[in-house]
Amino acid sequence: MNTTLYILWFTECDRSQQNLVGGKCANLGEMLQANVRVPPGFAITTHAYRHFMHEHRIGGEITRMLASLDSDDIDQAEETSRAIRELMEATPMPAAIADAICFAYQELCAECHATDLPVAVRSSATAEDLPGASFAGQQETILWVRSAESVLRNTVLCWSSLFTARAIAYRQAMGFPHEKVHMSVGVQKMANSRAAGVMFTLNPINGDRSKIAIDSSWGLGESVVSGVVTPDNYLVDKVTEGILQRKISPKLIAHVPNHAAGRVEIADVPAERQNIASLSDDEILNLTILAKCIEGYYHVPMDIEWGIDGDLEFPENVMLLQCRPETVWSSKPPMRVIQQSGTALDFVVANMLKGVRVR
């Protein structure tokens, strides 16, 4: 196995390497090529994962454990999942991979002029022949990781997350062989987000593609993604870039880094900040332009995680964290406005007959 392929920097990733770095990291690479601002980082490729599984022959062992699994027995599935993950987490990382990861992490620290740079470690799964397969909620993200040793440990956690009971059940339900799913891991500089959230390049309420819908809250984006706060919500017209709607909600808590403890914590938002907008109009406009750029690149509606970095000045502070194609509305048949074709005059008559309800 070629050890130089254990690491690919995001700047080297693109769609053609999806099998090597997974969808998430491939998209970040694409975005960098489209000149979108993305926190720097690298992917630990599926070669590393396969090497790890081969090294101590744990791959074969896991296959055997799964072969005897009765898919209807939930308790047994949980038991098997725990056994597999314990096995993986107890297996030492092959030295060649560990060296490559440590070296890459040090290089990232140097690039960002920091020692012990806080990073996010995220799984980025790949499944050959299963494009667009969504493993929603079955993937791992570990925030505020800040040493090479910790990156290594969390890399294994990401790998083992392929074998949660849910992930196993999902593959069995889909009739998809476990050994064909591989895991890449993304290691990315933590955006020190003052505010962060999610945006769609359509209105998720009604599928209207002329809008960009932005959910935003204080701190790291995890509070929005996990749903522990009701975020501020903005609706922007994609064509005019005008803000059509702002709903400012009370944002009681936020995910924030605890520097002393070296981890991310849920903290109370000071009362005076709870009810004020988490984004300025300029930031909303900048996110809108970012969303349009990303959608224009992929030509499909997109689901985008973003952050406003608290250490940087506007507009350098607007960051793309990750993005993927939107799946709910995109999989529905195209929306229709008119039910029956006709001349403009036909529509005038129809509209007159309809009138406007006033109560």
Partner 1 sequence: MSGENGSNRFPSPFNVPTPEGCEGWQDLYPYYYVFSEDRREFEDNRFWFQDAMHHPEPIYPFDTITCESWWVALGEMNTRVFIVPPALGIDHRVLNGYLYISALPVPNPDDIPVRVGHFMERAGYYYQHWDELYAQWQAKAEEAINELKAVRVPDLPEMEPINVVVEGRGLTSAYDLIVAYNRAVENMHKMWHLHFEFLNLGYAAYLTFYGFCKQAFPGISDQTIAKLVSGIDVILFRPDEELKRLAHKAIELGVADVFKQTVNPNEVVATMSASDAGGVWLQEMEKSKDPWFYFSTGTGFYHLPRSWVDDLTVPTIAIRGYVEKIQAGQDITRPMVAIQQERDRLAAEYEALLQTDEDKKAFREQLGLARTVFPYVENHNFYVEHWHHTVFWNKMREFGKLLTKHGFFDEVDDMFYLHRYEVQSALYDLIGAWGSGGEPRGPKYWKPRVAKRKEIFKKLKAWSPPPGLGEPPDVVTEPFTIMLWGITTESIQNWLKPSANAADTKELSGFAGSPGKVEGVARIIGSVEDLALVEPGEILVCPITTPSWAPVFTRIQAVVTDIGGMMSHAAIVCREYGLPAVVGTGFGTKVFKTGQRLRVDGTAGTVQIVE
Residues that bind partner 1 (CB under 8 A): 203, 206, 208-211, 235, 237-240, 242-246, 281, 334-338, 341-345, 347-359
Q: Which is nearer to partner 1, 276 or 350 (CB)?
A: 350
**Phi/psi of residue 327, nearest 5 degrees:** -115, -30
Residues in CB range of 115: below 8 A, 6 or more apart: 109
Closest contact distance (angstroms) between CB of 246 and partner 1 is 7
Q: Which is nearer to partner 1, 182 or 238 (CB)?
A: 238
Q: Which is nearer to partner 1, 71 or 275 (CB)?
A: 275
Closest contact distance (angstroms) between CB of 247 and partner 1 is 11
Closest contact distance (angstroms) between CB of 339 and partner 1 is 9
Closest contact distance (angstroms) between CB of 270 and partner 1 is 20
Q: Which is nearer to partner 1, 95 or 353 (CB)?
A: 353
Closest contact distance (angstroms) between CB of 293 and partner 1 is 14
Q: Which is nearer to partner 1, 50 or 246 (CB)?
A: 246
The burial of 164, by beta-carbon neighbours within 10 Å (0-12 exposed, 13-18 middle, 19 or more buried), is given as buried
Nearest-CA neighbor of 229 among 273, 289, 187? Answer: 273
Residues in CB range of 243: below 8 A, 6 or more apart: 234, 235, 236, 281, 284
Closest contact distance (angstroms) between CB of 350 and partner 1 is 8
Question: 187-223 burial, b if ≥16 CB within 10 A, otherwise e?
Answer: bbbbbbbbbbbbbbbbbbeebebebbbbbbbbbbbbb
Q: Enter the tokens of residue 97.
A: 């991979």
Closest contact distance (angstroms) between CB of 281 and partner 1 is 7
Q: Which is nearer to partner 1, 114 or 244 (CB)?
A: 244
Residues in CB range of 196: below 8 A, 6 or more apart: 216, 217, 219, 220, 221, 224, 305, 306, 307, 308, 321
Task: Report the SS3 class of residue 350.
Answer: helix
Q: Enter the tokens of residue 236.
A: 């922007």
Order of strands across the sheet that contains 141-145: 7-9, 41-44, 181-189, 119-127, 141-145
